[in-house]
Amino acid sequence: MPNYESTLTRFPSILVFCLILSACGGSGEPVVEIALHPTKPDLLYIATNDYIYKTRDSGKTWTNVSKGMTHSRVISLAVDPLLPANVYAGTKGDAIFKSFNGGHQWISQRKGLEGVTITSVVHEIKFVPGSSQHIFAATSMGVFETENAGETWAKRMEGMIEVLMVVTIDVDPNQPQTLYAGTSGGVYRSLDGAKTWIKVNNGLVPPDVLKSSRALGVVKIKIDRHAPHTVYTATLKGLYKTTDGGESWQRIGESLPDQFFSDLILDPMTPGVVFVASRAGVHTSRDGGQTWDAVNEGLTNLNIRALVISPTDPSTLYVGTNRAGLFRTNNGGRLWEPVPLTPAPQSP
């Protein structure tokens, strides 16, 4: 029988890591969020229900990088595309934390994100293209903006009516003044950098329930960088697409086996390539959502929590599952392989 007391004395962090993951060779942990380095494909971060982990070797070994974080769950991650040592973590009730050194230490950046009695749940963090200072956050208290890299945040909700929370936000990479936000009241669009918003729900929600604050359940919005005015929206009740800037939406993907979606991503290099995640795994379309194929070979759990695509090689994707950890594909989803959360060696 192994001497756990001796091991704990010599290698406390490794043992704790292994116990958390149930076994050093793998993980039954839910992986709820994944963030990739913009230029180094071997470097990525993931968040489980308890901790943030980082790998520098494409997932061969991992390090717990949660020093300075509270026990509040991390549900969103973002790496600064221009200064990748800056990493942001959005939490479930403790606002935003920032690391200036690649996750080795974290500090709270909640100024402006606190209410009288509650602190924001931060669902998504989005950089304005070309800036490290200008960031938007989708939170339980609305849309917030910072123009000083998170030092202070300001609420940007003018025009948002009957909104309880904002779950997802995207900034047009070609026209950064244009934003879309998925809220508890449907989809809103801004054409002036979030100063004002208008509701664009035509076709998304039946007219008789348009006023219901929870009629749709938008979970992800993605603007197509290849096609002006084309936006995709994943919801808890289906998948939608607009080609006229949100003036009208069309239902797509109705043939997919599960309409309760958890994530949506677009190929950054190839027009018309869409991936969606649900409780039925991952499906992809190569014609803008007209036809779909399942790409689940190798996945041992089809309940997908997070889905990302490599910014340097779109044939590489990662998924975080609900109970089977992290998986990677290097061939566009034709075959997935598990990526165990093996702890990196540490000095005695």
Concatenated DSSP letters of 265-316: EE-SSSTT-EEEEETTEEEEESSTTSS-EE--TT-S---EEEEEE-SS-TT-
Whether the CB-CB separation of 338 and 324 falls below 8 Å is answered with yes
Residue 339 · residue 316 · CB < 8 Å: no
Task: Output the pTM of the full model.
Answer: 0.89
Specify the pLDDT at position 347.
Answer: 55
Q: What is the pLDDT of residue 304?
A: 96
pLDDT tens digits, 196-239: 999 998 998 766 655 544 456 899 999 999 998 999 999 998 99
Q: What integer pLDDT is reported at residue 10 of this predicted model?
A: 33
Q: Say if residues 183 and 218 touch (Cβ distance below 8 Å).
A: yes
**Cα–Cα dist 57/139, whole Å:** 32
- pLDDT tens, 277-307? 999 999 999 999 999 999 999 999 999 999 9
8 A C-beta contact, residue 295 and residue 282: yes
Q: Which residue has the tokens 């729900």?
A: 201
DSSP type of residue 345: P
Task: Give pLDDT, residue 18.
Answer: 38
Question: How far apart are alpha carbons 39 and 23 in whole angstroms?
Answer: 31
Distance CA 31, CA 75 (A): 10
Query: What element of type H or E holds 183?
Result: strand 179-183
Q: 3-state DSSP call for residue 189?
A: strand
| Element housing 334 (H / E) | none
Res 169: pLDDT:
98
CA dihedral 295, 299, 301, 302 (to 10 degrees): 0
Q: Identify the CA nearest to 113 among candidates 69, 73, 152.
A: 152
At residue 192 the predicted structure's pLDDT band, cuts being 50, 70 and 90, is: very high
| 93 Cβ neighbours under 8 A, 6+ residues apart | 72, 118, 119, 120, 121
pLDDT value at residue 115: 74
**Which residue from 259, 263, 260 is spatially nearest to 167, judged by alpha carbons?**
263
Taken in order 274, 305, 281, 215, is the CA torsion positive or negative? negative
Whether residue 4 is predicted with pLDDT greater than 60 in this model: the reply is: no
Whether 26 has a pLDDT exceeding 70, the answer reads no
Q: What angle do CA 205, 207, 208 make, to 5 degrees?
A: 105
- Kindly list the distances between the CA atom of residue 188 and the CA atoms of 85, 137, 245, 248, 324, in Å, as whole numbers in the listed order: 32, 15, 11, 12, 35
Q: Which residue has the higher pLDDT, 15 or 253?
A: 253
The whole-number pLDDT of residue 269 equals 94
Query: Which two three-digit tokens encode residue 15?
Result: 């043992």
